[in-house]
Structure 1
Amino acid sequence: MTVLKVRPPAVTPAARTEAGTNRGERLSALAQQHGALVALVLLAAVASLSFDSFATGDNIENMALSSAFLAIVALGMTFVIITGGIDLSVGSVFVLGGVLAAWGSRHGTLVALLLPLAGCGLIGLVNGVLIARTRMAPFIVTLASMLAARGVMLNITDEGATTYLVDKNSLFIRLGQDELLGIGIPVWITVVLFVAGAVVLRRTRFGQHVYAVGGNEDAAALMGAPVARTKIIVYTLSGLLAGLAGALNAAWLASGVTILGFGMELDAIAAVVIGGTLLTGGLGFISGSLVGVLLLKVIQNIINQVGSLDSAYQQVVSGGFLVLVVIAQTWLGRRQQVI
C-alpha cells in the first residue's frame, strides 16, 4: 500500500507580511485602548505596596466618590472630542449647575434637579448651534460660554459672597450623601451613565454619526450623516452632564460652592485623552475616559499619601502623563499608517 504524503502549502513572504501587519495593527489598537488601564493597575499595585492606607475600604470609597463628578463631566467631553471638537465651558457650567441646584433646593428636589439641567443644557445647546450652524471654532465659542457661565454664577451669588446651602433634611441631599450597598449614590449614577454612554456610542446610529463626523466631516455629510444635528446634540449633552455633575456635587457638599470647577475642563480633557480618545477626533472609548479619570485620582491620592509633596505636583504629573499619551498616540497613528 502506497502512502501519499501531502506537504502543507508553503507560507509565502506576502502571507508572512500580511500576518505581521495584522498583528501589528491589533497590538497598536490594544495599546491605544488599554494602555491607560495597564498604567492604572500597575500604579495602584505599587501604591498598595508602598502605603498601608491606600488599599483600605475608606480610601477607595473616597476616591470613587470624588472621581464621580469629574467622570460625569468627562463622559460628555468624550462625545465632544470624538467629533473633533472641544468644550472649555464645562468647568464654569459645573459650578453654575451646583449653584442653581443649591438655590433650587429651597423649592423642592425636582426644581433642584431640573433647574441646573435646563440652564446648563441651554448653554450646551447654544454652543452646539453656534459651532454647527455658523461654523465658528469650538475653542472660541466654548471659551466665550465659559466666561458667560462664570458671569451668571457670580451674578447669582453676589460676586461669590453668597453661598446657598442645601437643607440637610431635604430629599435632594440624599442623592449626594446616601449609599446603596455601601457605595455612594453618585458613584452608582456615574456607572449607569457610562454604561448608557457606551451603548449609545457603540450600538446606535447616533454613535456611528459621532465617529463619522470626527473621522471626516465632509465624508460624513456625503454619506448622509446629519453633521450639524450631531454636533448640536453632543454639545448639549456635554452641558447637561456638566450641570448634573454640579448638582450632585452640591448635594454631596450640601451647598453650592462657588470656588470649585476652576480648571476642571482641563482635567476632563486630560482624562479623555489619557483614556485613548484622539484629540483630532474619530476615535475614542467611553471606558477609557473612566480609566483616565481614575488614573488622575490615583495620582492625586498617592501625592496626598506621601504628605511631603505639595498638591501642585498632581498637576505636574498629570501634565506629564498627558504629554506621554499624546506622543504615544501620535506614534501609534503613524505606525498604523505605515502598516
Structure 2
Amino acid sequence: MPRLHASAGFGALLAFVLIIAFGAWRYDGFLTEYNLLTVLRYNSMFALVGLGMCFVIMTGGIDLSVGSVAALSSVVAAYLSPYGLAAGLAGGLVAGIAAGTINGFIISKMRILPFIATLATMLAASGVALLLSNQQSVPASYDTNFMAIGQGDFSAYAPEWVSADDAGFFGGVIRIFFGFPIPAWIALFAYLIGSLLLNLTAFGRHVLAVGGGEEASRLMGLPTDRTVFLVYVLSGMLAGMAGVILAAQFGAGQPIEGVGWELFAIASVVVGGTLLTGGKGSVAATLVGTLLLGILFTVLNFENGMGWISLSAYWQSVLRGAFLLVVVILQSRLTKSAAAPA
C-alpha cells in the first residue's frame, strides 16, 4: 500500500510539471509573473478546503459541507469587515469552526454516517447563508484593512532596487517573493502545519489508524471519537478561512459561491493519492493535486482564448467530473493490484 501512495503522489507531480511545460510551450504569457501569482491567489481557497478534506478522508470520512460553510463564512466575514480585518477574520473562522463542531459531534457522538451528517450541514449552512445575505452578495468594506487578506501582498516592503530593469534574475526572484499573495502564504503555512501534524504528532498517527480501522483503533485504546471530532472541526475551520479569503478577494460575501467546492476538494485529495477508504494519505500530495487541477483549468481558459475551442464553465465542470472519475477508477485498480499477493 505505501507503494500505491507514493506512486500516486509522484504521478500527480509529474502531471503537474508536464502541464506547466505544455502551457509554457503553447501560450504566450502563461509563465508570466502575473499569471502564476493569479493562479496561486485564486486557488489558495481550494487548497485550504482540500487540506481539511484530506484529514477527513484519511479517517475514512467525507465532508460535503465545506463549500456551503465557506460561503456562509464569507457572508459573516463581509458583515463584520467594517470593523476591520481581525473582526472579519474572527467571524469567518467562528462560523467555520461552529459548522465543523456540529459535524464532529453528530458523527463521533451520535454515530451518524459522515455522508448524511455533512449533507445535512451543507443544506443548513447554505440556507443560513442565504437568509443572512437576503439572497444577494454582501459588500465587504474597503474602508478597513480587511481586503488585504484576499487581495494583498508584501510588495510594498520589497527593496527599491528589485523593481529596476537591471535587477537581474536574483532581483526577479526577490520581487516574486515579496509579491507572493497573502492568501497563498496562508495556504502554504496551513499546509506546513498540516504536514507537521500528520507526520510528527500522535494526532496524525491516530488519524491514519482510525482510517485503517476505527473499531480496531478503539479496541487498542486510541481516542477515536476525539480524533474524528477534531478532523471535522479542522475541516470546518479551514473552510471558514477559505470563506474569509473569498469575501476579501471578491469584495463581497458570496452565499452561493461555494457550490461544487466539496467536489474540487475531494478531487484534489484523490488526485494526490489519498485513499478514499482512509488510512493512507499525504498533505504535500494534496497540495500538488490542488495545484494540478488549478493549472489544468488555467490551461483550458488559455485554450478558450486561442479560439480553437470554446468551453463554458458548465463544460469545465463536466471535464472536472470526468477527470475525477478517471482518477478514482485508476486508484481502485492500483489498490487491487497492490493488495494482490505477489
TM-score (norm 1): 0.89
Structure 2: distance between partners of 1:211 and 1:27: 16
* CA contact 1:211–1:282 (8 Å) conserved in 2: yes
What SS is found at the alignment partner of 2:109? helix
Which of 216, 219, 222 is residue 219 of structure 1 equivalent to? 216
Deviation at 1:314, TM superposition (A): 2.3
Deviation at 1:223, TM superposition (A): 1.6
Which of 56, 67, 72 is residue 91 of structure 1 equivalent to? 67
Deviation at 1:236, TM superposition (A): 0.6
What SS is found at the alignment partner of 2:139? coil
Aligned 1:173-212 pairs, distance under 5 A? 173-180=147-154, 181-212=178-209
Which of 45, 53, 76 is residue 21 of structure 2 equivalent to? 45
Matched, 1:253 2:253: no
* CA contact 1:299–1:314 (8 Å) conserved in 2: no
Structure 2 equivalent of residue 165 of structure 1? 139
What SS is found at the alignment partner of 2:145? coil
- Larger Rg belongs to: 1
Structure 1 equivalent of residue 232 of structure 2? 235
Structure 2: distance between partners of 1:219 and 1:98: 39
Matched, 1:120 2:83: no
* CA contact 2:199–2:205 (8 Å) conserved in 1: yes
Structure 2: distance between partners of 1:222 and 1:244: 35
Matched, 1:272 2:266: no
Percent identical among aligned pairs is 42
Q: Residues 271 and 182 from structure 1, CA distance in 2 versus in 1: closer, same or farther, beyond 3 angstroms?
A: same
Q: 2:314 is matched by which residue type in structure 1?
A: A
Deviation at 1:29, TM superposition (A): 4.2
Structure 2 equivalent of residue 300 of structure 1? 297
Structure 2 equivalent of residue 316 of structure 1? 318
Deviation at 1:219, TM superposition (A): 1.2
Structure 2: distance between partners of 1:296 and 1:313: 15
Instruction: Name structure 2 gaps, 5 residues minimum.
Output: 155-177
Instruction: Name structure 1 gaps, 5 residues minimum.
Output: 1-24
Deviation at 1:304, TM superposition (A): 0.8
Structure 1 equivalent of residue 337 of structure 2? 335
Structure 2: distance between partners of 1:84 and 1:284: 11
What SS is found at the alignment partner of 1:134? coil
- How many residues end up aligned between the 2 structures? 313
Structure 2 equivalent of residue 13 of structure 1? none
Q: Residues 276 and 335 from structure 1, CA distance in 2 versus in 1: closer, same or farther, beyond 3 angstroms?
A: same
* CA contact 1:44–1:298 (8 Å) conserved in 2: yes
* CA contact 2:100–2:236 (8 Å) conserved in 1: yes
Structure 2: distance between partners of 1:150 and 1:316: 23
Structure 2 equivalent of residue 132 of structure 1? 108
Deviation at 1:320, TM superposition (A): 2.7
Deviation at 1:27, TM superposition (A): 5.3
CA RMSD of aligned residues (A): 1.4
* CA contact 1:303–1:313 (8 Å) conserved in 2: no
Q: 1:288 is matched by which residue type in structure 2?
A: A
Deviation at 1:299, TM superposition (A): 1.6
Structure 2 equivalent of residue 73 of structure 1? 49
What SS is found at the alignment partner of 1:172? coil
Structure 1: distance between partners of 2:228 and 2:5: 26
Q: Deviations over 1:198-251 (max 9, x none)?
A: 010111000000000000111111221111100110001111110111001111
What SS is found at the alignment partner of 2:320? helix
Structure 1: distance between partners of 2:9 and 2:279: 14
Structure 1: distance between partners of 2:82 and 2:107: 36
Q: Residues 211 and 323 from structure 1, CA distance in 2 versus in 1: closer, same or farther, beyond 3 angstroms?
A: same
Deviation at 1:252, TM superposition (A): 1.5
Aligned 1:278-289 pairs, distance under 5 A? 278-289=275-286
Structure 2: distance between partners of 1:196 and 1:268: 18
Structure 2: distance between partners of 1:195 and 1:111: 25
Deviation at 1:137, TM superposition (A): 0.8
Deviation at 1:86, TM superposition (A): 0.4
Q: Residues 106 and 28 from structure 1, CA distance in 2 versus in 1: closer, same or farther, beyond 3 angstroms?
A: closer
Aligned 1:144-155 pairs, distance under 5 A? 144-155=120-131
* CA contact 2:126–2:255 (8 Å) conserved in 1: no
Structure 2: distance between partners of 1:320 and 1:31: 21
* CA contact 1:33–1:288 (8 Å) conserved in 2: yes
Structure 1: distance between partners of 2:74 and 2:2: 43
